[in-house]
Every structure is written in structure tokens, then in C-alpha cells.
Structure 1
Amino acid sequence: MRLPDLEAWAIFASVVEHRSFSGAADAIGLSKATVSKAIARLEASLGQSLFHRTSRRLALTEAGRPLADHARRILAEAIAAEEAARDGASAPAGRIRVAAPMSFGVTSVSPLLAEFLHAHPGVEIDLHLSDARVDIVAEGFDIALRIADLPDSSLRARRLCGIQVHVCASPAYLAAHGTPRHPAELGDHRLLGYSNIPGPWHFRRADGAEVAVRPAGPLTANTGDALIPALLCGLGIASLPGFIVGPHIASGALSPILIDWTPPPVGLHLLTPPSPLRPARVEALIAFLAEHLRDPCATVARSDDVPR
């Protein structure tokens, strides 16, 4: 049996990541000629070109695009296997790339990462906050936290908890416009849209009745925190997760409504690349996050207790 050219596959993954032969060569400590020869060797073995090359641009071919994902997995699994062997005899150390939604990352994830880093001084974390859905394999993330109902995928996903959603408004808005007693009455109100949870607002009552309402109003944002000023100054009603509105409800600045009608909880999931091989530092952070994110809203209250 002819063994695969694993070195060429790893070099191919590096060229894709750095978008140039010279960038890959610098990153992995090889000459540009060695990188070029490895790609040529792999292309000859596969019988197809992997890149379109011009003097100014390097782009994957149609054949190269799906093979790039295979190359990333080959390289990631090899690195993980070597690191797992080394990490067994030492404390967790090295870099972890983490992706999380913007508001949730600020309020609930960043305090936990500070606590984790205090306990593991050999670890470095690169935290990427965005409400846009990231491709964790293509972008090289070790862990992604995602608040959504997940479609089927090749990623390894673990549901950590449900996140309660609250429909709320300021007392001033409710005094001026009235308090809805049934979700159907929301059509007469100004609704602030949270596009990170798209589509209609769904409600269910204890007796099994269900209602869906499509929000329409003066403001829609893809980050829930951006709706808070409009809520507080009485511009409308919003449906937002507890980690965003919980403190404002607790202070009385916002009032929950339709409490007999429950929006479905949104799941908080922890995603990792498909490979079961993970470095000890990543396993340690996964276990830490799974333990401490059972109640995400409690993390906000704990943030002042992070060791300095």
C-alpha cells in the first residue's frame, strides 16, 4: 500500500491558512522552494491542480476547496496527537482559540476565561467575539460557543444548558401604551428585533396553546445589547435572553410581560472540530466551561470575584 504524503498535506494546509507559499514557509520554518515542491508533489499525486497562481494572487481551485478541509483536519489531528502525548506529563499549556457571541462573550465568557487563565498560567487564549456564525474548522478555532438550535453537521456539539428568553419593556412604555395580556396583542405594539434569533417570536402556554408573532418596529440589531438603550427609553418591547436583560429586570428598569406565555429556551452549545483528538489544554477548558456555564446568568454576578 502506498502511504499518503502527510508532510505535503500539512504544508498544503499551511499554504491555505497563510494564503501564500512564502507565508507558509515562514510559519513552518521551511524554504519557499520546499513548500512549492511539496505542493507540486501533492498535485502530481492527486492528478489535479490545487491553486490558481498569478503574480499577485493565490486562490484555491474548485478541486482544491474541499481538499483544503481534509488537509486542515489531517494537520490538526497530527498536532493534537503530538500535544496529547506531551501534555500527559505536564500542566496544560499553549494557545486556545475560542469563538463566542458578542454580548454573551462579554458578560458570561470573558469572566470565566480570566478565572481559567489564573488557574492555568501556561495557557494563552485568543477570544473572538462575533454574532456572525464562524466556520470553526476553516478559521482554526478549538472551541465555539453558539446560542441557537443547531442543524446537523460534522462538528462535535455538546448542549450545556438552556437560556431563558424574556419579553420585556420599560415601565414608562407600558404606562403609555398598555401591557399586552396575550401574544396576539403584540401586533399593536412597537417590537424591537434581535436578529441573532431570527424569525417569529414563539410562545407556549402551560395548557399547550401556541402563538407565533413576527416582530415589526423601529429598531433591529444583531447584538442584543444594542437594543437596551431603546428599551430603557421606552421605544418598544423586546424578546431577549436573560444574560442581556436579567440585570435590568432585577433593578426594575425593565418589566417582564406575558409571563404566562413562555418563549422557548435557546440552547447554549459548545462546538469543537470533528476530531476526537484534543490537546489537554483544550480538554481542560471544555470541562471548565461545561461546569461553569450551567447557569450563564450567574457568571455576571461572579465576575467581580475573579482573582486579580
Structure 2
Amino acid sequence: MDRLTAVRVFVEVADLGSLTQAAERLEMSVAMVSRYLAAVEDWLGARLLHRTTRRVSLTDAGSAALPSCRQLLGIADEVHHLAGERSREPAGLLRVTTAGSFAEAQLTGALVDFQRLHPQVEVMLSVGDKVTDLVAERVDLAVRITNTLDATMIARPLAQCRSMLCASPGYLQQHGVPQVAEELRRHRCVAHAFGIGKHYGFTRGGEKIVVSVDWAFHTNETAVLRRAVLSGAGIGMLPTYYLGDDLRAGRLVPLLPDHEPDVLGIHALYLSRQHQPLALRMLVDFLAERFAGEEAPWDLALKAHASAGRPTAGA
């Protein structure tokens, strides 16, 4: 007799407290339900149910076995779901959210490349730095840059987000180049309004360094912060995923290269591993592979640029 069906019958009877109601829900006879219950009891070697003329209740052994039986059915359903999807092409709408700067610099291109592989997938990408309620806003996937994760969501690491202190050549020509972190106190600095507070934090040679500064310009958007630094507003700390073109073109100059700012994680956040749409599962796998490695691809590109002999201010 099919043990998986026998376990399913046991769970239904336990939930409903009635062989007759379980038989109706499972569309089988009461006699067949009884046979399946006997089979699962024989398999587990224990009496699972007390049967009376009016009601069925769990024995101690039945109460102990019920959670594991539910888990077994969940695993079986998930395997069936996965097996059925292997032969299907991902399709449908995926709602994705991330920070505007990461969308512009990295994620949009990745999503377009994913759609080239799977043209039946439709993507709706919303941007913003605020924390999104995935349930209320019906979001399938959030790509967030943070070290503070919501325990109610599943998080899959994609890459590390490193930052770099930088300024425009015009600003440095007018105000000078800081040679040590303490010199940042006398410079104009720009910052993300919801970011690091009135200080910069670095690690240098294994030592933690914190420098208090005064902000000359605040913004809640990384793209605006970049534009302010490019315009000569002051020294700013920007994510390396967003700086490649500016550094290669000489529009921005990296500062204090031996001072490493705090590193954040880039994570794919979603609500559940169970019964994920095929398109979502494949997209998360795609992003994890695209951004994989000890160093993110944009950091490797910057390292190659630096090793080509470009000068770095403050070195």
C-alpha cells in the first residue's frame, strides 16, 4: 500500500477527527480510509488513533508522529512541484524592488539579460531606499544592501557592497587632498541622510578608525549623492558598484585607498522557499551566479583599472 497516501489519510483524519469526513475530502470510501490507517500504524509500529463510535482522537504516539507526518507531506509536495517545473519555461510577472543606484548600475542590466534567456518573464522593477513590505506591496523579490536582515524573510547573499571615499578633481584642486583620515575633519563632506551618522568608519591595517565630520550636504538618494560629489560639493563615500565609469573617466578621484570603509551585504530577500514561482527561483539563481565570487565583478574591474597604473589620491 502507498505509504505516502497512508500518511496523508492519517493527517486528514487527525485534522478532521472523523473517518467519514476524511473519506469525503479524500474522495475514497470509509473502508479504504480504515485500511490506510491500519497500514500507517503497521508501518510506524504504534497505535496512532483512539476510535469510538462518535469521534476519533490521537493517542500519545499519534500526537508525537503528526508533526513529522506533516513535514513529510510538505517535502513530498515540494518535490512534486519542483519536478513538474523542470520541464516548463519560466513565465509570468515578477515584481522586484531595489535601491535606485543599484538598479541603475547593476540590477537593470542583469534583469534584461535574464529576460533574454527567458522572454516569457515580465519584470516590474520599483526603486527606492525605504524598507518595503513585501506582502503589502505584492513584491516577489527585494535586492537590499544591508547588514540588518528581517528574520521573517528568506535572505540569500548575492555579493558584498564595498564603498570608496572620493571627490572631484576640481574640489581637490581647491581644497587639497587629505593624506590621513583625521584631515577629513577640515573638509566639506556629503552624506546619505539615512546612512552613517556624523562620522566615517574605516579599517586600516586591522585597526578600526572613526573620524567625526560635519556634513555640508545631505540626501536620501545615492544617485543625488554621486551628483553632488561630481559637482564639487565635497568628499563623499559611495558604493563601488556605482563608481566604475566615473573613476575610469577621471571624473572622480579615490581617496585614502588604505582605509577600507565598512562592508555591507547585498541580499536577495523573499518570503518563502516553498512553492516559489519557477521564474523567481531561476532569477535568484541567476543573480547569485552573476554576482558570485570572493569579490564582486565591479570590484574586480576597479582593481584591474587601478593595477593598470592610474594614480590614486592620498596614496
Equivalent residue for 1:52?
none
Summarize the Cα distance change of 1:85–1:137 in structure 2 as closer, same or farther, 3 Å threshold. Answer: farther
Summarize the Cα distance change of 1:161–1:171 in structure 2 as closer, same or farther, 3 Å threshold. Answer: same
Q: Is residue 99–residue 127 contact of structure 1 (8 Å, CA) maintained in 2? A: yes
Task: Give the Cα–Cα distance (whole angstroms) in 2 for the partners of residues 221 and 244 of structure 1.
Answer: 16
Letter of the aligned partner of 2:203 in structure 1? R
User: Once superposed, what is the RMSD of the aligned Cα atoms?
Assistant: 2.9
Q: CA deviation at 1:242?
A: 1.0
Equivalent residue for 1:297?
298
Q: CA deviation at 1:83?
A: 7.0
Q: CA deviation at 1:101?
A: 0.8
Summarize the Cα distance change of 1:279–1:300 in structure 2 as closer, same or farther, 3 Å threshold. Answer: farther
Q: CA deviation at 1:171?
A: 1.7
Equivalent residue for 1:241?
239
Letter of the aligned partner of 1:110 in structure 2? T
Q: CA deviation at 1:97?
A: 1.2
Task: Give the Cα–Cα distance (whole angstroms) in 2 for the partners of residues 196 and 102 of structure 1.
Answer: 15
Summarize the Cα distance change of 1:196–1:108 in structure 2 as closer, same or farther, 3 Å threshold. Answer: farther
Q: CA deviation at 1:82?
A: 9.5
Task: Give the Cα–Cα distance (whole angstroms) in 1 for the partners of residues 79 and 92 of structure 2.
Answer: 14
Residue deviations 1:54-91 (CA, integer Å, cap 9, x gap): xxxxxxxxxxxxxxxxxxxxxxxxxx999757534421
Letter of the aligned partner of 1:238 in structure 2? G
Q: Is residue 108–residue 300 contact of structure 1 (8 Å, CA) maintained in 2? A: no
Q: Is residue 107–residue 300 contact of structure 1 (8 Å, CA) maintained in 2? A: no
Normalising by structure 1, we get a TM-score of 0.66
Normalising by structure 2, we get a TM-score of 0.65
Does structure 1 residue 150 correspond to structure 2 residue 148? yes
Task: Give the Cα–Cα distance (whole angstroms) in 2 for the partners of residues 296 and 286 of structure 1.
Answer: 17
Q: Which of 186, 191, 194 does residue 192 from structure 2 map onto?
A: 194
Q: CA deviation at 1:290?
A: 0.8
Aligned residues: 227
Q: Is residue 240–residue 299 contact of structure 2 (8 Å, CA) maintained in 1? A: no
Does structure 1 residue 203 correspond to structure 2 residue 202? yes
Q: Is residue 97–residue 139 contact of structure 2 (8 Å, CA) maintained in 1? A: yes
Does structure 1 residue 96 correspond to structure 2 residue 94? yes
Percent sequence identity over aligned pairs: 33
Equivalent residue for 2:137?
139
Q: CA deviation at 1:298?
A: 7.7
Q: Which of 111, 116, 122 does residue 114 from structure 2 map onto?
A: 116
Letter of the aligned partner of 1:201 in structure 2? Y
Summarize the Cα distance change of 1:276–1:150 in structure 2 as closer, same or farther, 3 Å threshold. Answer: farther
Residue deviations 1:164-216 (CA, integer Å, cap 9, x gap): 2110011221122121122222111111002353333211101x222223443
Alignment of 1:1-308 (within 5 A): 1-2=14-15, 87-199=85-197, 200-206=199-205, 208-294=206-292, 295=296, 297=298
Task: Give the Cα–Cα distance (whole angstroms) in 2 for the partners of residues 84 and 149 of structure 1.
Answer: 31
Q: CA deviation at 1:108?
A: 0.7
Task: Give the Cα–Cα distance (whole angstroms) in 1 for the partners of residues 106 and 194 of structure 2.
Answer: 17
SS at match of 2:215: coil
Q: Is residue 224–residue 244 contact of structure 1 (8 Å, CA) maintained in 2? A: no
In structure 1, the gaps of 5 or more residues are: 4-79, 302-308
Task: Give the Cα–Cα distance (whole angstroms) in 1 for the partners of residues 298 and 168 of structure 2.
Answer: 21
SS at match of 1:218: strand
Letter of the aligned partner of 2:156 in structure 1? R
In structure 2, the gaps of 5 or more residues are: 1-13, 17-77, 303-315
Equivalent residue for 2:40?
none
Task: Give the Cα–Cα distance (whole angstroms) in 2 for the partners of residues 196 and 297 of structure 1.
Answer: 24
Summarize the Cα distance change of 1:92–1:194 in structure 2 as closer, same or farther, 3 Å threshold. Answer: same
Letter of the aligned partner of 1:136 in structure 2? L
Task: Give the Cα–Cα distance (whole angstroms) in 2 for the partners of residues 88 and 249 of structure 1.
Answer: 43
Q: CA deviation at 1:144?
A: 0.9
Task: Give the Cα–Cα distance (whole angstroms) in 1 for the partners of residues 271 and 180 of structure 2.
Answer: 43
Q: CA deviation at 1:285?
A: 0.6
Q: CA deviation at 1:275?
A: 3.9
Task: Give the Cα–Cα distance (whole angstroms) in 1 for the partners of residues 112 and 277 of structure 2.
Answer: 20
Summarize the Cα distance change of 1:215–1:96 in structure 2 as closer, same or farther, 3 Å threshold. Answer: farther
Q: Is residue 158–residue 271 contact of structure 1 (8 Å, CA) maintained in 2? A: yes
Larger radius of gyration between Structure 1 and Structure 2: 2
Letter of the aligned partner of 1:161 in structure 2? A
Letter of the aligned partner of 1:273 in structure 2? L
Runs of 4+, deviation exceeding 6 Å: 80-83, 298-301
Letter of the aligned partner of 1:297 in structure 2? W
